[in-house]
Structures are given as structure tokens and as C-alpha cells.
């Protein structure tokens, strides 16, 4: 998930682009770059690393250009490097791109045969050469032809030396907005990038391609010119702090794609199939015979998912303990045990106590934590930091999913070091992982629909959540979220346990939330849905796109994109978070500070 920005007008394009990239840096900071048309010639400035390096590079340069494009990168194809930084150039054309081109190898082979030379490892360079190969004097037409050849996701901005007063942008499955001001036109991945210059925006739709000139916009879709209504965005300072969201919790739900990107960046190489954890000395933990996870609340639910990951992928036995109970059961801990505490704050009292007890027994400790320098981080042999950023809402959202992704990557790391997975298998898992943020973005598009579902259920007094395998802990988390912020009583169960008690409660007044995404236990969960319907229960289901079986037996359905079984907890988590949020908001409750709860429990 990268960030792009483009500008054409009368002011300094360099200044507009640098400010825009500063506001978009959360979308990626492996490298950054800008391309300006200076005296009818494109000048490209790129730098590996954070945006501050690019800022230093251009700070003292006198650049008069009033047209340009910019990019801040999160690496997918190709490691972070100067060569892989955007913009990419082909003869007279420069391109910036957010997304993943799935057929880039096929296109690259065609372009190599035409004599094009590639200087990077990226899929984006293919776009630049492709558009150049199709150019016949009209940049807009070349881009329209080019995007028809692309498979995957993209938001692109293109400029040409031969047409120095035009920018062409296009999008498919990646966000892109156009900002409008008198005599000036902007484009960006997100509104905040250009909010200093305009409050009026056009939100491009799937397949749109637009020609931007000074104060002029033409938009086409499927070769037909279309009209897109501009919207005025009016944010006051308080809203700006929350990025326009009503509550921090909703903002943090929407920040999850970014949090996952920030958490996994620089921890893997897709090309080599390597997992890197520089914070962990594997030699110290290579002889472990078991792992014990300790955590509280939502972090405990993350630990339950982590047990599936580690046992299935790395083949190491895992126990998961509620930290507040751990000390009182006389746990068997020794030097062949790896303790894995999970804590957002790193200051959770019960988890700290479990850590200290285990260290006395000789256990090695690797922790998962969101706060650098916290007690748990300081007292561990190694730390996997989640980069969720500050989480203000008491009900954990982005901290939870960044814990999940840390556990998944740690399981792959252990599997690789212990030779339990082939290099090809690791690459396949990583390929699925880098697509996860965009799939979460797709789930977030169901927000308004989930709010409509919530409106029908806010006056129910009880709820049951059901899930199996990887999603059984997500059922527990869904029930916890609903209880925490809406004060509606809810219970989460492994779906197979429904017949062992909870089924007695099911009737027309007991809604059942089923996590029914495709998996190897899909037939089992379908059977559970039928059992609920046979007792007049109301069923809300999450299903994989295209599902017909569970959909046909459910009263309400939220579709999520297809993904491997291991990653379905992320997509289902977003749905249950949004449902709980909207229930609480519609009831007029204090979503960010629910009664009786604190963000970090620092006493036993």
C-alpha cells in the first residue's frame, strides 16, 4: 500500500508534492520520489528510506516546475532500494503507482522482446514501458490502452515531456481522489494529502481514467466520458485530529491496513522467501520444545489464533494461558520453554508477573508489544514490535490485528528456521500476506451496510458468536467487542460446542453471528448454521465472496474477499469490530471510553 500525489497549477509543484507525501508517509516509507516537468524535461528525484531523506535531497534545489507527481513506497515487488523507488521512467514518460500488477511478468517478457531495458525489480516499471510502447502522440489515449492490459490493482499518475501540461491518472482497486481548486488540480491516494489546498474532491470509481489540466478534468470509463460529482469536505480541528472520524475507535479500525504494513515491513523478502527478525537471536531459542503464550483480554484471543499458526506451520506445541491465572496453576516451565507474552502496552501487570515467574524458571522470553521501551519489552530476550501506532480507543482493534500478523510472521520464521516449510511454501504465504491490507480495505467498504445490520439488532439483549478452527478465537473476540462498548450481553463459542449447551438458548430472540468463511471446516460450520435455523434463530454470517450455501441459510450476510484460511481471521475481525462499533454508536454510548474499562490494566 503506497501513496501517490500529483499536481498541476501555478504554484511550486515541489512544495505541494513534498507536503502531500508527508501526509501520506503512513502508507509506506521504504523509499520516496518525485518527478517534475522542468522546462519541458522530466527531472526525477528519488531516495531510499524515509521521506526525510528525499526532503534533504531537494531542499536546496531551485525548482520552478508547476506540474509533477510523487510517491512514497511500501515494498512489494523488489526490496527497498534507490532503483526500485518511484517514479519510474521510460523515454519521455514517468509513472507512480500504488497497487500490484499480477501479470507483470508476462508484460515484462513482451516488452523485453521489443527492446525495453529494465532497471528495477518492480512491477511498476512495466507500466511505464507499456504506456511508452503504446504512445502515438496522445498520452491520454496511451494510458487508456495501457490499463486495459493490466491485471491486478492500480492507482497511477503519468506525465510526459511531450505533453508538459497534462497529468493522466487512473484507478482500479486502489484509492484515488482528485482535488479541485481554481486554476489548480490535484490527485492523491487520500484526502489529507492535499487538504491544505482544497476542500473539494472527486472520488474516482473503479476503471476511471482522468485527464488533469490546470483547473480542468475529463474522466472516462470504458471509453465513455463520465461525470463524477465533487464533494466538499469540511473538517474542523477536532475532526482533523480524528481524521474526520466520529470516534477514535472507527479511525483505528480504518488504520488496520496501515498498521499491518508497518508491522511486517522489512521483516521479509518476497523474492528470497526469507523471514527476518533482527530483534530475535534464534540461537538462544533453537532448542525450545514448547511455547507458552500468556496474555489478557483481546491479546489472549490473539494468542489463541497464534497457537493455530505456530502448531500448524512450525510444528511446535503451544499452550495459551490467561496471564492472571498462569501463576496460580504451578505451570511447568523450564529452559526448553519459550514464553511469548502479548501486550499492547507492555505494562499489563498480570502479564509482567507471568514473564518474571517464567524467567526465574529458566525460560527464554520473546514478547509481542506495541510500546518501545515498555517493561515487558525491556525484560524480554527479544521483542516483536507491532507498529500499530497509538491506540486511543479502549476497545482494541488495530493492536489486535497487528498482534495477529506478528504471530503469523513469527510462525513462518520458526517454520523456516526449523525446516518445516519449503522456500516455495514460504513465498506463497508471503504473497498472500502482502495482499492482505488491500483485502481489508475491501471489507471496510461494507461499513455502511454493516451499520444497517447493526441498526436492526441494537435492542436485542443477548448474542451468540460462533466460529471454528482459526476463527473460533475471533468468535470470542466478537462477543468481547460487543460487550465492551455496546453493553449487550454476548458469548463466543467454538461452533462445535454449540450442541453442548448454548443451543438451549437459541430461539427467535437470540441472534447468532456466524464466521462462515471458506475453510476445511466449512461443511461443519454450514451444519451449525442449519441447527440454528432449525430452532428459529436469526443468523448473521460472514461468507467468502461467491458463497451460496451459508448465504442461502442466513438472514444477513457480509461478504469478504477470498483468502487463505490462515488469514480469514483478519477479514472477519474487521466485520465484528464494525458491527460492535455501530451498535454502540447507534445506542449513543461513549465508544472510545466505555464504562468501567481502562486502556491498560496495570494492576492485578
Lowest mean pLDDT among 303-317, 319-333, 337-351, 364-378: 364-378
Same fold? 3-234, 445-586: no
Query: How far is 333 from 326, CA to CA, in rounded Å?
Result: 11
- Percentage of the chain with pLDDT > 70? 96
Among candidates 90, 87, 95, 169, which has minimal Cα distance to 129?
Answer: 90
From the number of C-beta atoms within 10 Å of its C-beta (0-12, 13-18, 19+), residue 520 rates as exposed
Distance between terminal CA atoms of the chain? 40
* Long-range contacts (CB closer than 8 Å, 24 or more residues apart) made by 588-591: 589/485, 589/486, 589/487, 591/247, 591/249, 591/250, 591/393, 591/395, 591/485
Q: Tell me the average pLDDT across 251-276.
A: 90
With a cut of 90, say whether residue 313 has pLDDT above it.
yes
CATH architecture of 445-586: 3-Layer(aba) Sandwich (3.40)
Of 50, 162, 420, 599, the catalytic one is 599
* Structure confidence at residue 531 (pLDDT): 86
With a cut of 80, say whether residue 390 has pLDDT above it.
no
* Structure confidence at residue 602 (pLDDT): 37
599 is a catalytic site residue? yes
Taken in order 320, 323, 328, 334, is the CA torsion positive or negative?
A: positive
The pLDDT tens digits for 412-468 are: 999 999 999 999 999 999 999 999 999 999 999 999 999 999 999 999 999 999 999
* Structure confidence at residue 528 (pLDDT): 87
Q: What is the pTM of this model?
A: 0.69
* Structure confidence at residue 236 (pLDDT): 46
pLDDT-based confidence at residue 237 (cuts at 50, 70, 90): very low
Q: Tell me the average pLDDT across 145-150.
A: 96
The domain defined by 3-234 folds into 3.60.20
2 is a catalytic site residue? yes
The pLDDT tens digits for 518-550 are: 988 888 889 888 888 888 889 999 999 999 999
* Structure confidence at residue 235 (pLDDT): 54
The pLDDT tens digits for 8-29 are: 999 999 999 999 998 787 566 6
* Structure confidence at residue 132 (pLDDT): 97
State the DSSP string of 45-68: EEEESSHHHHHHHHHT-----SEE
Beta strand pairing call for 216-221 and 67-73:
unpaired
- What are the domain boundaries of the chain? 3-234, 248-441, 445-586
Q: Tell me the average pLDDT across 332-352.
A: 89
DSSP assignment letter at 462: E
State the DSSP string of 207-219: T-EEEEETTEEEE
Across 324-445, the runs of DSSP E, i.e. the strands, are 337-343, 364-369, 382-385
Among candidates 128, 26, 132, which has minimal Cα distance to 87?
Answer: 128
Q: Tell me the average pLDDT across 571-587.
A: 97
Q: Tell me the average pLDDT across 311-316.
A: 96
pLDDT-based confidence at residue 61 (cuts at 50, 70, 90): confident
Angle at 338 (CA atoms; ends 337, 339), nearest 5 degrees: 110
> 39, 62 in Cβ contact below 8 A?
no
CATH architecture of 248-441: 3-Layer(aba) Sandwich (3.40)
The pLDDT tens digits for 90-130 are: 999 999 998 889 899 999 999 999 999 999 999 999 999 99
* Structure confidence at residue 603 (pLDDT): 39
Which of helix, strand or coil describes residue 93?
Answer: strand
With a cut of 70, say whether residue 373 has pLDDT above it.
no
Of 2, 296, 563, 583, the catalytic one is 2
Amino acid at each position: 500500500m503506497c501513496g501517490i500525489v500529483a499536481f498541476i497549477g501555478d504554484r511550486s509543484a515541489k512544495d505541494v508534492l513534498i507536503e502531500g507525501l508527508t501526509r501520506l508517509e503512513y502508507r509506506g516509507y521504504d523509499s520516496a520520489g518525485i518527478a517534475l516537468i522542468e522546462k519541458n524535461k522530466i527531472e526525477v528525484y528519488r531516495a531510499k528510506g524515509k521521506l526525510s531523506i528525499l526532503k534533504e535531497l531537494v531542499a536546496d534545489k531551485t525548482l520552478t516546475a508547476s506540474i509533477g507527481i510523487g510517491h512514497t513506497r511500501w515494498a512489494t515487488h523488489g526490496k527497498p532500494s534507490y532503483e526500485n523507488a518511484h517514479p519510474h521512467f521510460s523515454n519521455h514518460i514517468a509513472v507512480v503507482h500504488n497497487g500490484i500488477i499480477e501479470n507483470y511478468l508476462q508484460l515484462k517478457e513482451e516488452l523485453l522482446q521489443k527492446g525495453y531495458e529494465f532497471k528495477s525489480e518492480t512491477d511498476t516499471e512495466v507500466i511505464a514501458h507499456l504506456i511508452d510502447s503504446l504512445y502515438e502522440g496522445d498520452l491520454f489515449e496511451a494510458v487508456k490502452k495501457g490499463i486495459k492490459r493490466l491485471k491486478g490493482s492500480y492507482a497511477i499518475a503519468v506525465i510526459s515531456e511531450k505533453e508538459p501540461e497534462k497529468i493522466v491518472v487512473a484507478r482500479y482497486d486502489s484509492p484515488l481522489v482528485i482535488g479541485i481548486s481554481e486554476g489548480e488540480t490535484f490527485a492523491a491516494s487520500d484526502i489529507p494529502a492535499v487538504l491544505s489546498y482544497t476542500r473539494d474532491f472527486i472520488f474516482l470509481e473503479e476503471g476511471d481514467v482522468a485527464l488533469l489540466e490546470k483547473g480542468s478534468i475529463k474522466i472516462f470509463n470504458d471509453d465513455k466520458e463520465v461525470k463524477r460529482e465533487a464533494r466538499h469536505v469540511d473538517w474542523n480541528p477536532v475532526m482533523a485530529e480524528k481524521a474526520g472520524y466520529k470516534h477514535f475507535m472507527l479511525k483505528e479500525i480504518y488504520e488496520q491496513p496501515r498498521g499491518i504494513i508497518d508491522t511486517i515491513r522489512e521483516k521479509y523478502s518476497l523474492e528470497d522467501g526469507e523471514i527476518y527478525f533482527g530483534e530475535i537471536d534464534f540461537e538462544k531459542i533453537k532448542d525450545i520444545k514448547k511455547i507458552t503464550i500468556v496474555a489478557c483480554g483481546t491479546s489472549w484471543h490473539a494468542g489463541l489464533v497464534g497457537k493455530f499458526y505456530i502448531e500448524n506451520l512450525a510444528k511446535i506445541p503451544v499452550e495459551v494461558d490467561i496471564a492472571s491465572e498462569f501463576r496460580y496453576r504451578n505451570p511447568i516451565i523450564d529452559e526448553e520453554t519459550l514464553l511469548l507474552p502479548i501486550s499492547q502496552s507492555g505494562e499489563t501487570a498480570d502479564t509482567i508477573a507471568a514473564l518474571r515467574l517464567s524467567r526465574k524458571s529458566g525460560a527464554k522470553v520473546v514478547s509481542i508489544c506495541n510500546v518501545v521501551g515498555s517493561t515487558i519489552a525491556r525484560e524480554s530476550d527479544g521483542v516483536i514490535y507491532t507498529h500499530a501506532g497509538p491506540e486511543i480507543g479502549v476497545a482494541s482493534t488495530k493492536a489486535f490485528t497487528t498482534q495477529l500478523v506478528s504471530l503469523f510472521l513469527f510462525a513462518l520464521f520458526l517454520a523456516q528456521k526449523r525446516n518445516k516449510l519449503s522456500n516455495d511454501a514460504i513465498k506463497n504465504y508471503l504473497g498472500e500476506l502482502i495482499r492482505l491490507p488491500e483485502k481489508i480495505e475491501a471489507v471496510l467498504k461494507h461499513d455502511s451496510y454493516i451499520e444497517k445490520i447493526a441498526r436492526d439488532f441494537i435492542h436485542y439483549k443477548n448474542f451468540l458468536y460462533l466460529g471454528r478452527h482459526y476463527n473460533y478465537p475471533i468468535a470470542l473476540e466478537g462477543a468481547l467487542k460487543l460487550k465492551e462498548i455496546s453493553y449487550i450481553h454476548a458469548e463466543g463459542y467454538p461452533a462445535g460446542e454449540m450442541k453442548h449447551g448454548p443451543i438451549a438458548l437459541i430461539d427467535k430472540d437470540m441472534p447468532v453471528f456466524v464466521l462462515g468463511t471458506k475453510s476445511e471446516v466449512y461443511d461443519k460450520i454450514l451444519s451449525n448454521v442449519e441447527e440454528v435455523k432449525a430452532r428459529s434463530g436469526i443468523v448473521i454470517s460472514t461468507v467468502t465472496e461467491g458463497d451460496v450455501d451459508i448465504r442461502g441459510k442466513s438472514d444477513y450476510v457480509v461478504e469478504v474477499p477470498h483468502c487463505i484460511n490462515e488469514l480469514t481471521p483478519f477479514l472477519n475481525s474487521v466485520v465484528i469490530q464494525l458491527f460492535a462499533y455501530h451498535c454502540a454508536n447507534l445506542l449513543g454510548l461513549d465508544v472510545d471510553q466505555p464504562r468501567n474499562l481502562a486502556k491498560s490494566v496495570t494492576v492485578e
